[in-house]
């Protein structure tokens, strides 16, 4: 059974329709990547899944239950976490304070979880009391992912986690994504570094014009000549 199932979803902003009958799925333990040109609807789909945008038609199910249109505050309690592309950390707060903000809806003692999350990102441990605004781009991205993990989700939504990072930091972020996936966490990923993302993904979807044009195993899409010509730069 699918962990996440998006079924013929149509969504957009005001009078503009961005997604047209989009269907995707994420199975337990998978990394699934969405690629496509700018304006294809990738981030819009993420927002629809996480309740930031209500679909006009279609259904979204998580673990078999209909979550269509539920607010993000309800979804985090069901096991979904989302890391947006921008404004995903609090620069004036410390690393530790950012992680604590990720646990704000928890009603239990989250200190043990905070230490577990820090252990996943050991480079942050000696900087736990430093303000995030002074960290590198890659470190800030780790803080953003760590904050999302404070709720111990079963599905993590990542929107362009490598955007604006130097190549060496892109590798680091992807290594962390793979490490998180090895713990059993399923990941739905929108990524501009499409080659790297597909190479590390179990499956992928190609979106264009607000519709799914192709889908298949990540490595197979990576080797597809048409995908390479249109979406991977040749």
Domains parsed from the chain with CATH numbers: 1-79+156-234 (3.40.50.300), 89-152 (no CATH)
Q: What is the largest CA-CA distance in the chain?
A: 51
Report the pLDDT value the prediction gives residue 233, as an integer from 0 to 100: 64
The span from the CA of 7 to the CA of 203, in Å, is 17
Q: Give the residue carrying structure tokens 């890659």.
A: 138
Predicted TM-score (pTM) of the model is 0.92
Strand-pairing partners, residue 13, are 16
Q: Are 115 and 146 in contact (CB under 8 A)?
A: no
Q: How many CA atoms lie within 13 A of 25 on its CB side?
A: 11
Q: Per-residue pLDDT tens, the chain, 234 aa: give them.
A: 699 999 999 999 988 999 999 999 999 999 999 999 888 999 999 999 999 999 999 999 999 999 999 999 999 999 999 999 888 999 999 999 999 999 987 778 889 999 999 999 999 999 999 999 999 998 999 999 999 999 999 999 999 998 888 888 888 889 999 999 999 999 999 988 888 899 999 999 999 999 999 999 999 999 998 888 777 765
């Amino acid at each position: 059974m699918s962990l996440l199932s998006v079924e013929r979803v149509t969504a957009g902003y005001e009078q503009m329709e961005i997604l047209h009958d989009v269907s995707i799925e994420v199975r337990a333990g998978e990394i699934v990547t969405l690629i496509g040109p700018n304006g294809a609807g990738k981030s819009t789909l993420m927002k629809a899944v996480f309740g930031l945008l209500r679909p006009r038609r279609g259904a979204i199910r998580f673990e078999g239950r209909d979550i269509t249109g539920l607010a993000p505050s309800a979804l985090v309690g069901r096991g979904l976490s989302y890391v947006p592309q921008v404004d995903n950390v609090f620069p004036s707060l410390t690393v530790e304070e950012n992680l604590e903000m990720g646990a704000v809806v928890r009603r239990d003692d989250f200190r043990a979880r905070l230490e577990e999350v820090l252990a996943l990102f050991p480079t942050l441990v000696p900087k736990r009391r430093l303000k995030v605004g002074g960290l590198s781009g890659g470190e800030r991205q780790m803080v953003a992912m760590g904050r999302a993990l404070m709720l111990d989700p079963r599905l993590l939504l990542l929107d362009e986690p490598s955007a604006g990072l130097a190549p060496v930091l892109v590798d680091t972020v992807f290594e962390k994504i793979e490490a998180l996936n090895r713990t059993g966490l399923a990941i739905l990923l929108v990524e501009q570094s499409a080659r790297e993302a597909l190479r590390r993904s179990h499956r992928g979807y190609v979106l264009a014009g607000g519709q799914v044009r192709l889908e298949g195993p990540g490595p197979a899409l990576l080797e597809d000549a048409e995908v390479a010509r249109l979406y991977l730069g040749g």
